[in-house]
Chain A
Amino acid sequence: MSFTFNLHVPKALPPLPSSSRGTTSLFFSSKHKSYHNNTSPSQSLRITCSSQKSNHDDDGSLKYTSLALQIGVLLALAEQPVLAVTGENNRPELLWVLTQWGVVLFGYFLVVPPIIMYWLWKRWYRRNLLEMYLQFMCVFIFFPGVILWAPFLNFRKFPRDPSLQYPWSVPEDPSKIRSSYAKYPYAEPEDYDNL
């Protein structure tokens, strides 16, 4: 027996001594099994039972670790539904939300439209292309507010002569009244100042 053992080692793996050691242990165990099997069947059965027991022990330890991991995972997962059942803990107050909406709607309907209408009246004859674009954009965006304010504001033209306060007013000196006004494209923006 020892002779056969010695012969197997150099033939298998001569250049790797560490791996040869592993193979040596394997050969030893295999030799033990074959020797016992060859000698007597009752002894072989006993050895088999013992090996099975050892296998069971190994499987048990592995199962325990896996069970522990699963339990941990389950516990970790269980935390989330607990939070969901509770709901949001930092909800905004209703009064604060209503205040914010009130401020926004106040600006949209009551503050900005008069400013837009005044801007239109002031720059109607002085605006360029970009300003006209911005004016139209603002009117389009704030149109509900402009419609709301239209019956209450009056941006119609004023008389050219500032001294005429009423439609039936008569000028003091008719000869000083200017009657010839240049029209577009010869008029300058200053000609529309008093409208």
Chain B
Amino acid sequence: MSSTASLGYGGPTCFNNVVHQTMRNSFIATKQHNSVMRVVKGWRGRHGNNCNTSKRVVGVVQCRGLGDFIGGDLIKFDLGRWLSDVEEHKALAIYPPHEGGYEGRYLSRLKRQGYYFLDLTARGLGDPETTLTKIHPVCPPHVGKQPIARWYFPPEVDYRLEALPPNAKGLVVWIIEAKVLSKAELQFLALLPTLRPNVRVIAECGNWRKFMWKPLKEIAGLTTSEEA
């Protein structure tokens, strides 16, 4: 827990209530500028409550520490901590940057460890418990005048666990777009390693400006007392 607590910003963040008024240098003609201002005023006039918040928020300049700008691919050598956290917590929620690609470094390291991967997208998951651990029906789409079929598939996790080679270290269920899952679904995913000891769960629960991760139990709201 202390190691996970060390996650965060490298420097302090200072907050200054400085109303920042700058002259707008634009090539728009005066009339067009007035029309734009009218549209903006009309838009803001519709939401009286938001007008106050907009007045408070607009013009506030946030002072960021230097540590917020230092960071990138070659600064944080955190792969060792990543491997130890995967072993310890068994279910992690990760927050890669928006442009993606950074999770590949961490995935490759797990692959070298001997894990095998089951890549799923959360949007097509259905009920996670039934899909992952039970025999579940799938109704494929038909093309015109055809009877509606109903196929039964084996459990996704158990099927792949049986197919793992003997020297494999485990199965990693990598779920993308996990931000669309509800808290109950995330709770099941957090508890899945306890049901299947060889399974690890990695859920991409959102995006952040640098690669961060946290135990999925904390994200799903499962604390140690609730577990007990």
Contact = CB atoms under 8 A, between A and B. Distances in A.
Interface of A: 118, 126, 128-129, 150-158, 162, 165-168, 176, 178, 180, 182, 185-186, 188-191, 193-194
A151 B206 CA distance: 22
A186 B74 CA distance: 39
B68 A152 contact: no
Contacts of B69: 118, 153-155
Contacts of A190: 20, 58-59
Nearest to B36: A185
Interface of B: 7-9, 13, 15, 20, 22, 24-27, 36, 39-40, 43, 47, 50, 53-54, 57-62, 64, 68-75, 93, 95, 97-98, 205-210, 212, 214, 218-219
Contact of A154 (B43, B70, B205): B70
Given A178-B54, A193-B58, A158 B72 contact: no
Interface-central residue, B15, B57, B73, B206, by most chain A CB under 10 Å: B57
Contact of B58 (A126, A158, A188): A188
B13 A128 contact: no
A110 to B, nearest CB: 14
13 contacts: A128-B26, A129-B27, A152-B74, A153-B69, A153-B70, A154-B69, A156-B98, A158-B209, A166-B8, A176-B53, A182-B40, A188-B58, A190-B20
The 3 closest A-B pairs by CB, nearest first: A156-B209, A154-B71, A167-B208
Contacts of A162: 13, 15, 60, 62
Contacts of B70: 152-154
Contact of A168 (B9, B27, B73, B219): B219
Nearest to B98: A156
A167 B207 contact: yes
Question: Main secondary structure on chain A at its contact with chain B?
Answer: loop
Contacts of A153: 69-72
Nearest to B40: A186
A186 B93 contact: no
A168 B93 contact: yes
Contact of A165 (B9, B73, B206): B9
Contacts of A128: 25-27
Contacts of B59: 190, 193
B40 A180 contact: no
A193 B62 CA distance: 8
A126 to B, nearest CB: 7
Contacts of B73: 151
A186 B43 contact: yes
Contacts of A178: 50, 53-54, 57
A167 B61 contact: no
A156 B20 contact: no
A61 B192 CA distance: 123
A193 B22 contact: no
A111 to B, nearest CB: 16
A133 to B, nearest CB: 13
B68 A154 contact: yes
Contacts of B97: 156
Given A156-B209, A162-B60, 17 more contacts: A126-B22, A128-B25, A128-B26, A150-B72, A152-B75, A154-B69, A154-B70, A154-B209, A162-B15, A165-B13, A166-B212, A167-B208, A168-B205, A182-B43, A186-B39, A190-B58, A191-B58
